[in-house]
Amino acid sequence: MTDEEYEHYQAMQERNAVQQAELQAQLEKEQADKASARAKLAALGLTDDEITAMVGAEPPEGETAIGASVSA
């Protein structure tokens, strides 16, 4: 591999790392937003089943709409 090819490879690797970090941050924000929305709906008095009926997705495993852990 020439020096030029290696520099190009390194630049691509750096861009990829930045893109991966941006995607991870976006995913974490989306998950936090969903959890926040569920908590707000629960604070309004809706049950987990009602919230699921509205938003069409189950809460993360082991959590209720208000984010409290559920023991098995």
The pTM of this model reads 0.63
Q: Please tell me the predicted confidence (pLDDT) of residue 2.
A: 95
User: What's the pLDDT score for residue 54?
Assistant: 87
pLDDT of residue 66: 55
In the numeric block, which tokens belong to residue 71?
A: 């023991």
> So what's the pLDDT on residue 72?
40
Residue 50 exposure: Cα atoms within 13 Å on the Cβ side: 10
List residues bridging with 16 in a β-sheet.
none
Q: Which of 15, 9, 16 is nearest to 1 (CA)?
A: 9
Mean pLDDT of each 10-residue bin along the chain, 72 residues long: 95 98 97 92 93 80 57 44
Task: Using only the alpha carbons of the chain, give its radius of gyration.
Answer: 20
* Tokens read off for 48: 């987990």
